[in-house]
Amino acid sequence: MTEQTPAPPLAHAPVEIAVIGGSGLYRLFDAGIVTEIIVDTPYGQTSAPITIGERAGRRVAFLPRHGAGHTEAPHRINYRANVWALASLGVRAIISSSAVGGVSPDYPPGLLVVTDQFIDRTSGRADTFFDEGVVAHLAAADPFDPVLRRTAIAALSALGELFAPTGTVVVIQGPRFSTRAESLWFRAAGAHIVNMTQYPEVVLASELGIGTVNLSFVTDADAGLAPAEPGADAAASALEARPHETASTETAVPETAETDAVTAELVFARLAAAQPRILAAIDGILRGIPAGYAPRPLIDPALIRAVLDRPVRTAQTAQTARTVLPVQSPRFATATGNPPVPHPVPVPAPTTEPGPAR
């Protein structure tokens, strides 16, 4: 149930870990006491209200990247508002999930990937907090946090999952999928998977002192180019190259590339089937994040404080058919001591079939 007033003791604990749900993951918590809030930001509204609760024994803030009903297209997501809101709650570690296409035969549908590099092919996205009166240059050679990546690799190994411990994602503008020529180009550039949302999310989090680990699930063969040959057992080849991994006997490797060419229907059907695996992996990572985890100091803390001190734009919530009563939310301290501002949370009516974004 959604917490109303008064707030239970759980709501007063700090929130240092967040999960950003990608396509197919719009709710994280089972039945129980949760707090749902809207956080005002200097950049407008977040994709959806932030839900705070307990999962895998950890206190977690959850935000669905595309909105609760998959209403935000990848190029229209308010990445800065999302990341700023989580930072204002005190979040220091983000676990993000993503649906991706495989552009390499070593990354077939059904594989989980602990992403370690990205190639940015987006355009026009607001991708820094340091564009107002001050310049800061983020060191991005290794964009994903090494401690959190090691945690994810250990968790997936313990689960006996079929996964790749590294992977380069090319991030495209979307919402359309790739052409065959583009898919070949991405593979030639060194990409293994393709996605529409991993940039600028990870660099924005780093700018505000938050470490990120990404868990990607390969749903398709992008433009139908991987596996490279009909009948090729690409997953087995990948495991031979990485003998420490364990294949899941429930993961089927497609026989042809053409049957796995991307469509929205294929993506969402496979995400739904894989959701238990994805949630189990997230739970394993949550349990494994070290107590007292501290992200890498990549930006001067004084500059981060200045960003979090920027004046917020008050959210204007429209009247909807159903509205959750205001939550008596506790004061969630930020690095500067400024609390986010909770509001009545509009609950959207049930949506139709989600759009075709990864």
Does the annotation mark 220 as catalytic? yes
CB atoms within 10 A of CB 115: 27
Q: Write down the catalytic residue from 40, 116, 145, 220.
A: 220
CA–CA gap between residue 16 and residue 87 (Å, rounded) = 9
Q: Write down the catalytic residue from 40, 116, 145, 222.
A: 222
Distance of CA 345 to the CA centre of its chain: 22
Which tokens go with 346?
């509009």
The residues near 49 (Cβ < 8 Å, ≥ 6 apart) are 36, 37, 38, 68, 345
| Residues 233-242: b if buried by 16+ CB within 10 A, e if exposed | ebbeebbeee
Question: DSSP secondary structure string, 208-257?
Answer: TT-EEEEEEEEEE-TTTT-SSSTT--HHHHHHHHSTT----TTPPPPS-S
Question: What length does the chain have?
Answer: 358
- Write the DSSP symbol of residue 6: S
C-alpha separations of 235 from 19, 129, 243, 280, 326 in Å: 28, 40, 12, 21, 49
Handedness of CA 143, 145, 148, 154 (dihedral sign): positive
Which tokens go with 115?
């992403």
Contact yes or no for 198/217 (Cβ under 8 A): no
CA–CA gap between residue 242 and residue 224 (Å, rounded) = 24
Strand 193-195 and strand 163-164: pairing?
unpaired
At 97, which amino acid appears? S
Does the annotation mark 222 as catalytic? yes
Catalytically active residues are: 220, 222
